[in-house]
A and B are shown apart, each in its own frame.
Chain A
């Protein structure tokens, strides 16, 4: 979840009539989790579907609604203008086809505002921009740019001074030597043509989605901003622009239109959308009995506009609320406006009779039987390592199923057997008193269609007098009591077991597992100083369902 850092005092100023306590108590009910607090500073986790909460300006808008200080939708006031335009050339179509933008004038930009805007930009890039791949933003000092602009492509040898640099770099140098170039260069692939926004004096403004030119850097002296958003999809780019426009307007800027034309591009409208929701749906889903005017007031507290239209409620949804897909989202907006703390849990009687799954029921019984035989239940991960599964026990590792890019060396492959994990457990307990007897039931994995998952059951016993007879007795009694099964054993050999002390386990002439005394070399590998005996059998569906 993304995190935004803000100050209570600044938030209070933005919200108006509110106390610090009121704000901190209400934050969770906007869906914002307080991660940590330090006096005036507070770090807040917000949901990725609400990019408007990436700044204190956006959070203030939501909080005004929830506290009833200002309700209803935020309307963007965008002044029509012919002064600003971007002409798009068709050569960008194959690499990053869309650009959109807006001008924001006469704002006050202090350090804190710059910090909030930078953080917003980062979060938008990471979240809805999908690490700048889908869409990305450039924020510029308007007064350093001569309109009209051109969005086109250029060669990798083209040069300009990028942000945070003092000298000219070629595009190739930017991609190879700057952090942002290295992080995001792969978005542009290996095309020889690179997207570029230039102004009427042919000065580079931006190299999207990588970096702005240094000349348009925003400082505390900046009064007027130009924002461009580029992307691979027009609607996504405009969604992102709508968030930035809403935030800038609430930060005190006056918005002005930027005309966009050429190669399937057009001037963004950033219009609200209309959607209806029925009072029946709201009450049915929430389990409430609200009348339409209450529902309307709840929606307004969620900063939407709403009015009665016949039996339904018509909502006006500002462009930046593109997380709203349909009526169910509006039901949630009603719930938030109503206040989740005001929803009383209800317990409606069950019309159904509950039932445990027979597999878990049978496994639970088997556990009880094993406990009765003096065995302690162990639990190991099904995701384990080659060392535990194969190397320590001499088993053949030709058919391993591994996961990609595990962050933990100890969890890289799916187990096909439980016994090696139990031996590993004993090796970690050589200082505890003997006898040590443990068992485990759980899933094991093998290739096939595409993966076979079976329940396996394994037990081991370690002490000075552990021997084949003991472990066969245990398995024999366990399966007889647990599943009414009679077992036979037949001489076999297995790399984990001692030759001549190892047998296949059969039920109705079908092999279901292996039993025996563990190979002394393996016991030594594990530094265990007493004999160990064990078994592992597969509990097929036919066994588990037979009871």
Chain B
């Protein structure tokens, strides 16, 4: 099948078939196309490997202001010699006659012994026939001549004299047809376009890649029978820590790990019964003076578990599958692996027959659905679950096991004071880590940079 060409391309190819080496300027003349059309046409042909563009630099020499003047008047030194033809002259008269060029002319004439100077008068000594500089000026005339056509050593002398000759470096292009183009048959079918040509990039508008991962995870848990609950990002320390059996002097509660809202305390944090029972559990098990003012301090939630536990304390279900998903905060230095604010999913199963193996099964199913099949479980520790496990998943790209979700069964010290009587399986973890696997990122900050180039082009790799 013969290739389809644009009219511009056809004209250029035909012209080059007749005259195999041409500059863009000569193609303009031979094809009657505009400079812009020629430029585009050459570019297209080059992309298709049909045209070869040889770019070269040429130095062109032309006469400057003084050089042009010398054509009529002669070089300053010739003017000097001419005016001495009729006998010696006074220095001051010569100066007047020749003006500013007298100095350099006199210098040259004396250096070459063309003149003799006795006290005040200058006389002709030996008149030269043709000075090399005169030859060059004659040769150039009013044209632009390639540098290599002029005697190099003489030219270099003349180049040093002010404004006699000008050197221009010009880029020239020479277009030739490639071997494959030389045998091309140009079809005359009109109206056809080049459907194989490259086209410009257009940008899609799209939802944020991280949001896509969040939505995907949400869908998975909904299909596994879980319902979504949500709650505030600002929480009292009571629900973020105390209700989860984290003692008030626990390191995680310190300013350097948790964001406390400056000067803001909650007046009403929970029911009097909840407060009494939770504080009793702390006093009995951790042996310290529990302080309600500490529990009132408002924090940016450090996990979404506070939303879940509040929900369970309110509803006290016998059976439930719920999850919450949203932003959590840690007072960390921002780096390629840490953000101060990130997304977490956190889910629970409540049921009298809920077991640790079920909890592991839900994790395995979840990971399978997001495309991770190589997983294992290790024991770990969380203040509010017992037993506690963490999932390790194999990252093919890094070639190592990385930690993903943590999980466990809520401790009786957590559930009992809040009136929750059935076992509660709980798990949770960061979503950005999963999204990083999906988008092949090594720097978690990329999700929040809002770099349009990335947002416009990010594509899933898993």
Contacts and interface: CB of A to CB of B under 8 A. Distances in A.
A403 B260 contact: yes
A450 B269 CA distance: 10
B300 A428 contact: no
Contacts of B340: 381, 383, 406-408, 411
A465 interface: no
A28 B381 CA distance: 12
Interface string A437-472: 110000101010011010000000000000000000
Nearest to B327: A382
A370 B411 CA distance: 44
| Contact size range, B | 35 or more
A50 B448 CA distance: 38
Given A377-B208, A381-B448, A346 B333 contact: no
Nearest to B356: A286
A68 B243 CA distance: 38
A432 B452 CA distance: 7
A416 B412 CA distance: 39
Contacts of B453: 429, 432
Contacts of B298: 450-451
Interface residues of A, number: 89
Contacts of A450: 234, 261, 264-267, 298
B10 interface: no
Contacts, number: 255
Interface string B339-383: 111000000000101011110111111000000000011111100
Interface stretch (A353-361, A485-493, A507-515): A353-361
Interface stretch (A16-24, A142-150, A328-336): A328-336
A348 B409 contact: no
Nearest to B285: A325
Given A350-B321, A357-B228, A451-B234, A377 B256 contact: no
Contact of A354 (B226, B264, B285, B387): B226
B266 A30 contact: no
Interface stretch (A173-181, A259-267, A337-345, A475-483): A337-345
A375 interface: yes
A31 B225 contact: no
Interface in B182-241: 203, 205-208, 210-211, 215, 218, 221-230, 232-234
B374 to A, nearest CB: 14
B49 interface: no
A329 B285 CA distance: 13
Given A335-B356, A407-B332, A350 B225 contact: yes
B205 A287 contact: no
A354 B298 CA distance: 32
Contacts of B320: 352
A192 to B, nearest CB: 24
B455 interface: yes
A354 B224 contact: yes
Nearest to A349: B225
Contacts of A359: 230
Contacts of A287: 355-358
Contacts of A545: none
Contacts of A33: 378, 380, 403
B384 to A, nearest CB: 11
B337 to A, nearest CB: 14
Contacts of B101: none
Contacts of A341: 376-377
Interface residue SS majority, chain B? mixed
A374 to B, nearest CB: 5
B385 to A, nearest CB: 9
Contacts of A447: 264
A57 to B, nearest CB: 20
A48 B247 CA distance: 13
Contact of B259 (A345, A352, A404): A404
B205 A352 contact: no
Interface string A278-307: 000000111110000000000000000000
Nearest to A363: B211
B16 interface: no
Contacts of A408: 333-334, 340
Given A347-B358, A350-B225, A404-B262, A233 B256 contact: no
Contact of A403 (B207, B266, B300, B423): B300
A69 interface: no
Given A381-B341, A405-B255, A354 B355 contact: no
A383 B300 contact: yes
Interface string B300-340: 10000000000000000001110001010101111000011
Contacts of B249: 130, 133-134
Interface string B30-63: 0000000000000000000000000000000000
B147 interface: no
A220 interface: no
B259 to A, nearest CB: 4
A425 B454 CA distance: 13
A436 interface: yes
A378 B365 CA distance: 31
B287 A235 contact: yes
B389 A357 contact: no
A429 B229 contact: no
B388 interface: yes
B265 A328 contact: no
Given A285-B409, A450-B265, A347 B364 contact: yes
B456 interface: yes
A368 B215 CA distance: 12
Given A401-B264, A428-B450, A453-B233, A284 B211 contact: no
Contacts of B365: 347
Contacts of B260: 403-405
A404 B413 CA distance: 30
A287 B351 CA distance: 13
A356 B226 CA distance: 8
A198 interface: no
A184 interface: no
B357 A357 contact: no
Contact of A402 (B262, B285, B334): B262
Given A379-B210, A407-B333, A429-B451, A285 B381 contact: no
A380 interface: yes
B450 A380 contact: yes
A355 B222 contact: yes
Contacts of A376: 203, 205-206, 452, 455-456
B321 A354 contact: yes
Given A134-B249, A286-B356, A351 B319 contact: yes
Contacts of B265: 450
A345 B341 contact: no
B102 interface: no
A438 B206 CA distance: 10
A29 B387 CA distance: 13
A321 to B, nearest CB: 13
A286 to B, nearest CB: 5
Given A367-B211, A443-B233, A377 B206 contact: yes
Contacts of A310: none
Interface in A383-411: 383, 401-408, 410-411
Closest 4 CB pairs of A and B: A350-B225, A287-B355, A47-B381, A287-B357
10 contacts: A31-B378, A48-B381, A133-B249, A284-B353, A328-B412, A351-B351, A373-B205, A376-B203, A403-B261, A410-B334
Given A47-B381, A356-B218, A406-B259, 17 more contacts: A30-B379, A31-B381, A130-B251, A133-B249, A343-B360, A347-B358, A347-B361, A352-B319, A360-B230, A376-B203, A377-B207, A383-B329, A403-B259, A403-B300, A428-B450, A432-B453, A451-B261
Interface of A: 28-31, 33, 47-50, 127, 130, 133-134, 233, 235-236, 284-288, 325-326, 328-329, 331-332, 335-336, 340-341, 343-348, 350-357, 359-360, 364, 367-368, 370-383, 401-408, 410-411, 414, 425, 428-429, 432-433, 436-438, 443, 445, 447, 450-451, 453
